Structure 1
Amino acid sequence: MKFSHQLQFNAVPDWADYYLAYSNIKKLAYQIEKDLFSGVEEARDAEVDERTSLLDSSARANAVFVPALDKELNKIVKFYEKKEKELFAEEKKLAEDIEAYESAHPFMNSSIVGSGYFAGTTVHDTPQSQELGTPSGSAKDPFHPQPRRPSRSLSGTWPSSEFFHDTGMPPNIPGQNRPDTDPSNKSINSEFDGKDDEDNERANLKRRIIDLYVLTTELRSYVNLNQTAFTKITKKYDKVTYNTLKSTYIPNQVLTTHPFKAATKEALAHAITEIEYMYVSLTDMEPDLAVDELKTHLREHIVWERNTIWRDMIGQERKANAVKRKKESKALNIPYVGPVSRETIQQVVTLAGCLAIFIGLLFAPWFDTVEQTYCFAILVLASLLWATETVPLFVTALTVPLLVVCLGVMKTDDGNSRLPAPDATKKIFGTMFSPVIMLLLGGFAIAAALSKYGIAKGIATVVLSHAGQRPSRVLLATMLVATIASMWISNVAAPVLCFSLIQASLPILRTLPNNSSFGPCLILGIALASNVGGMASPISSPQNIIAIANMNPPPTWLQWFCIAIPICMLADIIIWLLLLWSYRPERSTPQIHTIRPSKDPITIPQVFISIVTVGTIVLWCMEHSFESVFGDMGIIAILPLIAFFGTGILTKEDYNNFLWTVITLAMGGIAMGKAVESSGLLRYIASQIQDVVQGLNPFEVFFIFGCLVLCVTTFISHTVGALIILPIVAEVGAGLPDPHPRLLVMGAALICSAAMGLPVSGFPNMNAIMLENEMGTPYLTTLDFLKNGVPSSILTTLIVVTVGYGLMTLLGF
């Protein structure tokens, strides 16, 4: 991995602007090389080569390069001194608060602080600490630590009980020499019963210690990363210019500045050690265990800071597909041993079978015209490949327009003659990139911005912080967060966000008691609520986009919200009650740790993203009022793309990380629908179904189609089910004596999201079943989905066909 990528990945995101601008300096080194070797005018056409040698002009090169390094060095020094002053001041204040807490609670569970270890502690004898009033040469001088101060040895062990005896400090051994833990000391024990104020004060001190520890450790990492950056960039410069700058600049310039001095690093390391002792003083654990626990908070912080939800979502999707294949192989007793395996052979056999069926259907005598026959063969082939996933879904989607044009299934608008291949190509491609696809891209842009800049995380933590400590309330709040998040960052990214919260940012799972039923209950609740959230808005799932493409006129956002949000809320509550009845989490976990809201300051980019997002949603909701200006929701979707990418909020890397496989799948589905309509096959199938449902009222037809959609999409992708079924539903609805095509299409799309009975019934389920505890044991099994997912699917479908039907009827669908 290139160092520029390592620097970007390991940098503290909030401090990104204060690191050495490695990439820019490297470009400058290459430009100097070009200018010196070929001359400024000739360098415009010259290729940059790291092996290019320069014969002279070293002084002239240094005159350009060294000032650029000096500028970066000054920036780093100023930033470090500012952060060091802030952190050391907070450390001093924290030590004083711990001393005050010790005085108020003399029998606290701390032997180190209780012995007066922090009494009168001054922080560090640095220029910054002197500004705070720390006397030079104090007894706590970090550069001359006192011999009696306890410290860890190189082997990682802590001071023995003899050391504490020599220093007058009682050993911190759980259950020994502690008045508050001595069973015989009942009077003291009784004083500690129910001391909520003391517990809250101690918890607040521990939280402050954790925050200070994370920031101080990040500051040490900041110094190390920048020192490595200076070393590497000067080495790179020397290599491309045949210079010797590194040997003089690093020792004479970098290492003589305050952040990179050995004494400064020692002071910072000493500060980290003191913070560890503070944490040890407030716990009941052995010192080694307490420090290890403190370091887990550092890892959790890094896990969250280093990953955006959008990047995680893509990785999790790939893992989900791999897990799905492994589980299918296990069910068939096929060993999963890599790309060349019995599973691969099975895929080849399946593909051959699909192609054989396709070829056979090309000669089927069931239809009136050859265009209908060929189109039916393409439809069956695409359905089989999508259902079996023998080849990637997007590959099947790309195969559709190829076969449609080559087999000549497209007809003219009057339906009397076959379109020639050039005209069919223009028509099919013009259909594939529709306003609906642009709506999908706009939704991806909003989702990426909300997750990249922590807006979704911030809102989620604020909501969860008000949930209290009862598992039932936390479960409901988390499910609502998952549903609401699915509205704006899709039901693919929402479960990734929520699982990241409960694992890293809000480590709920890790802090649960052993064998607690709340862990599986919470994970399953997030998965099911994310599936439900797939109904909530037009951009929350691809099947909604496909539904809009099959509705004429398409529903407004306001109409969609009026129908979907009540259904989602009712479904969440019913699923919540079902999970509480099934798992009874409060029996094994009476309460969980308090969830604190994020205290990160609101930034200008976050405000800008929020304004653009809200403004876009308002325009989508009022699309008909601005139809003369924008024409369609797809044009409005361009606004967030321009606003975010044009201002640098999102980069081309974010654009490349869009789920282009989903976009391609939607485009292939639209092409399939257009081909089925143009060939006349859709009218033929719809007429056959209409004969079956003849005499039934719209509600009965809706119920039948709802059951059909639920069964199909439980076993295949929700999006694939929508691609296959929704065009047929629209045509059948239009042909009823009392036509309600929009009602049937939207209802069927909502029921696609309600199918969540199996681990493979959607991305949220596949993501949930992959989660494992620290021992590598999965939280969920297929039985959990059968016991809870299947009833949840049925109950949610009943809500759609009852409450949803009533709401859509009231709105004139």
Structure 2
Amino acid sequence: MKFSHSIQFNAVPDWSSHYIAYSNLKKLIYQLEKTVHQPGTADVETRPLLRNEDPDTVFSRALDVELEKVSSFYGVKEKELFDEVDDLLRDVGSFDENGPNEHDGPMRPVIQQPTTEQVKRARGPRSSQSAQSGHSLHSTEDGIEDSDDDDDDDEDETSALNKKRRSSINGGMARRRTVANFMHNSTDLTASTDYTRSARRHSTGFDDYAETAQMFTSGIMLKKRIVGLYVQLCELKSYVQLNKTGFRKVLKKFDKINDRDLRPKYMDSTVESAYPFLRDTISHIEENIEKMERAYAHVVTHGDESLARKDLRSHLREHVVWERNTVWRDLIGLERRAEAASLGQGLLGAQNDGMKVRLQGDDAPQAPTKKINTPIGRFTVPTWLFGSTMFTLLGIIAIFLLLLFIPIMERPEQQNCLALLIFVSLLWATEAIPLFVTSLLIPFLCVVLNVVRSDEAPYARLKSKEATAYVFAAMWTPVIMLLLGGFTIAAALSKCKIDKRIATFVLSKAGTRPRTVLIANMFVAAFASMLVSNVAAPVLCFGIIEPMLRNLPSDSNMSKAVIMGIALASNIGGMLSPIASPQNVVALGIMQPAPTWGEWFFVVIPVGIVSICLIWLLLLVTFQPGKGTNIVPIRPVREHFTALQWFVSAVCVTTIALWCASHALESTFGDMGVIAILPIVIFFGIGILTKEDFNNFPWTIIILAAGGLALGKAVKSSGLLHTVAERISGEVNGMDLYVVLLIFSSLTLVIATFISHTVAALIILPLVYDIGDAMEQPHPNLLVMAATLMCSAAMALPTSGFPNMTAIMKEDATGQRYLHVKHFISRGVPSSLLTLVVVVTLGYGAMRIIGM
């Protein structure tokens, strides 16, 4: 968990302004970093603070302020609580002398009139002190010098807590006033339970003497006070530990960002020697906690300290859960999603390359609605029913119905299949409904429209029951299993931060020359796309170059060039391995025989390297990033590879090696999809990946691919694909293979530029394969391979792939986007054309060499 979240997760709400201001110290670290690398560029407010001073001195001074705040607050709270412990122990002694003892049987509440001395003891001496605590100890009488600056500094960490706390205080006051109404009928347990629910306010005293007299029972009051003190002592111990961790972590970040070595010196000389963090201090707190456990055992559990400890911990848990329920629920949900390996999506429910990105939270926003009046009543309906999406959807349905009844094909199953194909293609292209929902329509329509025929003569149309089994068998194939295996490897590399370690190591060797840094980032992005998909690669690379972007001017051409370079290289990286993108997996399922990994690499590695180099030259010429650019070098991770990281790396390398040798091992494994089961079983079986990671897989992509496979199977089974391929083959009959390659590569590039890369592959690749197979000199695999590469090369628009969408949304510290649409049109269009030239020249030659 991020420590900025951990503070909110574990902080005592009433003390929130007295914890280390971790977020503000992080901001100071980044200001110091910029000042070191760009002297004189700090803003007007921070320049007097940072100029001409050593960063260690500036940061140590800020830490000293935080340490003084923590120490002062701790001193006040410790004295307050320890004094109450002494008072309580004296009262326990008096109770033992005057009240029931352990031989009298179970303790029973006896209502008695309290004496004046007992009332004073119950009300004080905490009443005045606790009032100060309830107001965050702003009074200087207790030695705390708080100002408005403290509150402002801690806004990032505590604002949410303070907002939630106000409602909980009001609720606690209301509950406290109702205690008297049920006190006579309550047991010890219910009384103490209600007490712990309002423990933050129990020390303010009772509202009046009558209420005190009604509530007062010696045993119950002692029990309540013991529980309250136990809770606060545990919170005080947690306060010390949390702040010590904060100092250690913020010093570690300072050393890492600014390449310093301040942490060992400052921790040893200053933090460790401060009073709250001394070993004797913690020991003293623990001694008082043990005193509360013994007192509770003496008063409540008849000497059973084990039961007393268990009971007190139960009270502590109940108190903390009640008091911080809202914060815990929000942060737990956030952290579970953020820490899960999510293939670059995390909280973003990105479907795939050209698909829109939607933020999914626990409390998803309600869809806008509109009320309409009808003859049968008033109804609330979604507003999208009256928008352009609804008219688009109605138009597509109308086209579908017309195609069902206007005779175009000779056979009815082909006529129905043509209507199905155009209907699904229009839905995918317009995204009138989510893409994966359209995929789920495919098996339904295939069965209802009876488009499936048997694979053997006389090719009779299958009945609905047989067609159902046929279509669903087409949806779950080894190709889908291979896709899952690729997602699993990507998730393991991402969760263990192996991908980031490798990328950081490579980029740290790039130096500070702009042109070298640019091409290094591009190759790292392409390599990351090859391993963890082109969805995750740009997210990973943008995180790595963040320190460099922070220290470049907001209008720097280097920033634009490196962000654009990462996006375009990530698109190229989508073609570099069979599992790099879904369209590659679809192509493997169509090509017969499927190429081995070695054959795939033989074609795509030269194409990818040359394409990236040409795009790099284009960016250098158009952006000229070297002018007046001062680049902060990226530092490698200092920690060594852990045993877990070595294990994950070994499993991934072994799996990829087995995939590369899958043809030689066909007699053992049968298909690459079977090999893909190995990393899934290993990583999920031993707990490296969890159920949360599995749920975070991009299942929309899997459903999309499965629907596309079913559509391809249906189009082929109905005979429509063969009929269309024959007609197109007649048009290209007599044309040279190279001309056909140019035609379909260009057509694929244009289509994939405007719709999702995967959708373009699902629609085009089956047709291209049949056309290639029907040629006089059949080369279906060559045409399919070229079309697949051109799907990844479509990157002319900001919406032409997920890397482009990620890049155009990247913003600087002021909230301004680095790139605009004009940058993509002026660089993306030439990049796509350059890649097309490389594919139809170098790629064509490589494919002919391996016999495609």
TM, length-normalised to structure 2: 0.62
Q: Could you report, residue by residue, the CA deviation over 1:625-657 in whole angstroms, capped at 9, with x for unpaired residues?
A: 211111100000000100110011111111111
What is the rounded CA distance, in whole Å, between the counterparts of 1:252 and 1:798 in structure 2? 76
- The one-letter amino acid paired with 1:365 is P
Structure 1: gaps of 5 or more residues: 1-5, 21-107, 126-150, 158-216, 222-236, 284-301, 327-335
Q: SS where residue 687 of structure 2 aligns?
A: coil
1:260 aligns with 2:237: yes
- The one-letter amino acid paired with 2:637 is S
What is the rounded CA distance, in whole Å, between the counterparts of 1:568 and 1:754 in structure 2? 10
Of residues 44, 47, 53, the one that matches 1:110 is 53
Using the TM superposition, give the Cα deviation of residue 605 of structure 1 relative to its aligned residue in structure 2, in angstroms: 2.2
Q: Which residue of 2 aligns with 1:474?
A: 517
What is the rounded CA distance, in whole Å, between the counterparts of 1:754 and 1:378 in structure 2? 28
Q: Could you report, residue by residue, the CA deviation over 1:161-181 in whole angstroms, capped at 9, with x for unpaired residues?
A: xxxxxxxxxxxxxxxxxxxxx
Change (3 A) 1:761 1:266: closer
Q: Give the conservation status (yes or no) of the 8 Å contact 1:309–1:496.
A: no
- The one-letter amino acid paired with 2:588 is I
Of residues 496, 507, 513, the one that matches 2:539 is 496
Q: Could you report, residue by residue, the CA deviation over 1:461-514 in whole angstroms, capped at 9, with x for unpaired residues?
A: 1111011112211111111111001111111111111122223xxx22221123
Change (3 A) 1:255 1:556: same
Change (3 A) 1:265 1:628: closer
1:454 aligns with 2:447: no
Q: Could you report, residue by residue, the CA deviation over 1:259-308 in whole angstroms, capped at 9, with x for unpaired residues?
A: 8187788888899999999999999xxxxxxxxxxxxxxxxxx9999656
Q: Give the conservation status (yes or no) of the 8 Å contact 2:489–2:532.
A: yes
Change (3 A) 1:319 1:240: farther
What is the rounded CA distance, in whole Å, between the counterparts of 2:598 and 2:513 in structure 1? 35
Q: Could you report, residue by residue, the CA deviation over 1:407-435 in whole angstroms, capped at 9, with x for unpaired residues?
A: 10111112531111111111111111000
Moved more, 731-740 or 302-311: 302-311
Q: Which residue of 2 aligns with 1:567?
A: 607
What is the rounded CA distance, in whole Å, between the counterparts of 1:610 and 1:270 in structure 2? 34
Moved more, 408-417 or 753-762: 408-417
Q: Give the conservation status (yes or no) of the 8 Å contact 2:353–2:756.
A: no
- The one-letter amino acid paired with 1:758 is L
Q: Which residue of 2 aligns with 1:61?
A: none
What is the rounded CA distance, in whole Å, between the counterparts of 1:552 and 1:269 in structure 2? 59
Q: Which residue of 2 aligns with 1:764?
A: 803
Change (3 A) 1:627 1:493: same
Change (3 A) 1:382 1:773: same
Q: Give the conservation status (yes or no) of the 8 Å contact 1:9–1:306.
A: no
What is the rounded CA distance, in whole Å, between the counterparts of 1:632 and 1:269 in structure 2? 51
Q: Give the conservation status (yes or no) of the 8 Å contact 2:436–2:703.
A: yes
Q: Give the conservation status (yes or no) of the 8 Å contact 2:552–2:630.
A: no
Q: Give the conservation status (yes or no) of the 8 Å contact 2:342–2:491.
A: yes
1:427 aligns with 2:470: yes
Q: Give the conservation status (yes or no) of the 8 Å contact 1:712–1:721.
A: yes
What is the rounded CA distance, in whole Å, between the counterparts of 1:281 and 1:651 in structure 2? 35
Q: Give the conservation status (yes or no) of the 8 Å contact 2:336–2:692.
A: no
Q: SS where residue 586 of structure 1 aligns?
A: coil
What is the rounded CA distance, in whole Å, between the counterparts of 1:487 and 1:272 in structure 2? 34
Of residues 748, 753, 770, the one that matches 1:714 is 753
Q: Which residue of 2 aligns with 1:689?
A: 728
What is the rounded CA distance, in whole Å, between the counterparts of 1:392 and 1:718 in structure 2? 15
Change (3 A) 1:709 1:262: closer
Q: Give the conservation status (yes or no) of the 8 Å contact 2:352–2:701.
A: no
What is the rounded CA distance, in whole Å, between the counterparts of 2:240 and 2:535 in structure 1? 50
- The one-letter amino acid paired with 1:435 is P
Change (3 A) 1:786 1:303: farther
- The one-letter amino acid paired with 1:683 is H
Q: SS where residue 796 of structure 1 aligns?
A: helix
1:378 aligns with 2:321: no
Q: SS where residue 313 of structure 1 aligns?
A: coil
Using the TM superposition, give the Cα deviation of residue 250 of structure 1 relative to its aligned residue in structure 2, in angstroms: 7.1
Larger Rg: 2
- The one-letter amino acid paired with 1:652 is K
Using the TM superposition, give the Cα deviation of residue 594 of structure 1 relative to its aligned residue in structure 2, in angstroms: 1.4
Q: Give the conservation status (yes or no) of the 8 Å contact 1:415–1:678.
A: no
Of residues 689, 704, 715, the one that matches 1:665 is 704
Q: Which residue of 1 aligns with 2:401?
A: 359
Q: Give the conservation status (yes or no) of the 8 Å contact 1:309–1:497.
A: no
Q: Give the conservation status (yes or no) of the 8 Å contact 1:718–1:753.
A: yes
Q: Give the conservation status (yes or no) of the 8 Å contact 1:486–1:493.
A: yes
Change (3 A) 1:10 1:472: same
Root mean square deviation of aligned Cα:
4.3
Q: Which residue of 2 aligns with 1:746?
A: 785
Q: Give the conservation status (yes or no) of the 8 Å contact 2:712–2:766.
A: yes
Of residues 350, 356, 373, the one that matches 2:392 is 350
Moved more, 434-443 or 768-777: 768-777
Identity %: 45
What is the rounded CA distance, in whole Å, between the counterparts of 1:781 and 1:752 in structure 2? 23
TM, length-normalised to structure 1: 0.65
Using the TM superposition, give the Cα deviation of residue 315 of structure 1 relative to its aligned residue in structure 2, in angstroms: 3.5
Q: Give the conservation status (yes or no) of the 8 Å contact 2:353–2:803.
A: no
Q: Give the conservation status (yes or no) of the 8 Å contact 1:255–1:261.
A: no
Q: Could you report, residue by residue, the CA deviation over 1:318-376 in whole angstroms, capped at 9, with x for unpaired residues?
A: 499999599xxxxxxxxx99995579611111111111111111123222211111100
1:418 aligns with 2:461: yes
Using the TM superposition, give the Cα deviation of residue 602 of structure 1 relative to its aligned residue in structure 2, in angstroms: 2.3
What is the rounded CA distance, in whole Å, between the counterparts of 1:109 and 1:282 in structure 2? 18
Using the TM superposition, give the Cα deviation of residue 608 of structure 1 relative to its aligned residue in structure 2, in angstroms: 1.7
What is the rounded CA distance, in whole Å, between the counterparts of 1:406 and 1:735 in structure 2? 31
Structure 2: gaps of 5 or more residues: 12-50, 69-143, 151-156, 162-187, 200-223, 261-333, 359-367, 371-380
- Corresponding pairs, count: 584
Change (3 A) 1:402 1:602: same
Change (3 A) 1:376 1:250: same
